A and B are shown apart, each in its own frame.
Chain A
Amino acid sequence: MGRFQAGDSTAMEELFARFQKPLFNFFYRMVGKRETAEDLVQETFVKLCRFGSSFRGSDAKFSTWLYSVAGNQCRDYLRHSSRRPEVLLDTIEDSESDSQEDTGPSTPDSPVEEEILRKETGRIIRDAIESLPNKEKEALVLREYNGLDYKEIADVLNCPIGSVKVLIFRARQRLRGKLKDFEGIA
């Protein structure tokens, strides 16, 4: 980030390469749509280019700052999308592809069956997380999948650490009920 602020134009592309996947997965888990997640990743980095000069800190704090920007983007999107209910196309695509795969013969422990099981597991977990309130969802996703600690999550959500602790606990408690009947492979 220091190189970018010093005028090194390639630094932004390197930052993008480093953070595009975790940011994409954060957005994808929050909004549920690949294309929207990719758009949000791009918008986040565009904001970074425009306002990156205002960042003052080390590399460790940069990721927190980046997730703060991403979190704001995500909340803006969810706020607007809640006014216009949209069908999760990924859900439709998954169900269509599952129905196509069901027609073929399946053997136990075959790679195909493993792939189906993996997708089905992801779908169940995704549906369960999708049902969480936005703030709890965001705290849980940042902790479980993006590996942020409570202090960083508190900075991203702009709330006390104690609130983060409670948000994550509540999210897990809700998920416990939804995933209880899932005969998972855990």
Chain B
Amino acid sequence: MKCGKAKILISAQMDEEISVKDSLALEEHLHSCPECADFKVEMASMSRTLALWADEEPSPYLAQRFAYKLQEMDEPSAPKRSFVSGWTFRTVAKIAAVVALVGLFVLSEKGPVNVVVDNGTSVTETATAPVDNTSDTVTVDPIETQPAAEVQPPVTEQQPKPAAPRRPHRRPAPSVEPSKPIEMAAANISETENSVMAEIDNAANTEVSTDVTVAMNLRESASNINDTLEIVRGNLQLAVDNLSSRSSQPDGK
């Protein structure tokens, strides 16, 4: 047996990971090789030295932190997926923006509008005159108007899966008086959409090891979108109620 192989076997023998046959051959070699015999003594001494580096205790708060994390993960509002696909958030963000714009048109003073609002219980009003939106700075993507009340992340087979993440069209916030609730909601949605898009782009470019942090950020953005959608939903309901009350008056306004 050569010394090179013998030294490897000496190391394995310390860990009891050597066959009986190799053990016998090694012992025979050690009888005739003082260098390898010294090597075995040094290895044993070093193993005792390594054992002197005792285990450390982790922080007593580590278990508590993990318990909080478990609770957070068990919350029903938290998404169960470890990574939310970008197109789902894009679609939700677009739907939310369209809903806000529909509400904006409903309460605008420009005249009759085309409104299709389905609150789940009754179909709504429609008008004939086109919308004059020259004072609006908001542009609309060519996307079908979705029902306002039931906004859920749809599964659309027609949605293409881009090979590379495409930059969505960033709509500027509507430049209207911030005191109006629908405009405020639209501005919130636009701002939230931008932050979600930034998070999605960040996630697309982020290595795996930080996906937990990015997932947490996405979760927070989703929560923000949900809150904004609730505001818009409330305002749209108010608009529908207003339209219903107008149509019931004999003159109408």
Instruction: Report which A residues bind B (CB closer than 8 A).
Output: 9, 12-13, 16-17, 20-22, 24-25, 28-29, 34, 37-38, 41-43, 45-46, 49-51, 73, 76-77, 80, 118, 121-122, 125-126, 143-145, 149-150, 165-166, 168-169, 172-173, 175-176, 179-180, 182, 184-186
Contacts and interface: CB of A to CB of B under 8 A. Distances in A.
A18 B89 CA distance: 38
Contact of B57 (A21, A122, A149, A176): A21
B45 A28 contact: no
A24 B56 contact: yes
Contact of B209 (A76, A118, A186): A76
Nearest to B209: A76
Interface string B17-61: 100000000000000000000000011011111111111111100
Given A17-B63, A77-B209, A122 B54 contact: yes
B8 interface: yes
Contact of A21 (B47, B55, B67): B55
A125 B63 contact: no
A182 B46 CA distance: 10
Interface string B54-96: 1111110011011101100110000000100000000000000
Given A9-B70, A168-B15, A21 B54 contact: no
Contacts of B57: 21
Chain A interface, DSSP helix/strand/loop, else mixed? helix
19 contacts: A16-B63, A20-B62, A21-B55, A38-B62, A42-B66, A45-B66, A51-B82, A73-B209, A76-B208, A77-B209, A80-B209, A126-B53, A144-B47, A144-B50, A165-B17, A168-B12, A176-B43, A176-B46, A185-B49
B207 interface: yes
Given A13-B67, A149-B15, A186-B46, A41 B58 contact: yes
A21 B58 contact: yes
B230 to A, nearest CB: 29
B171 interface: no
A166 B55 contact: no
B11 A165 contact: yes
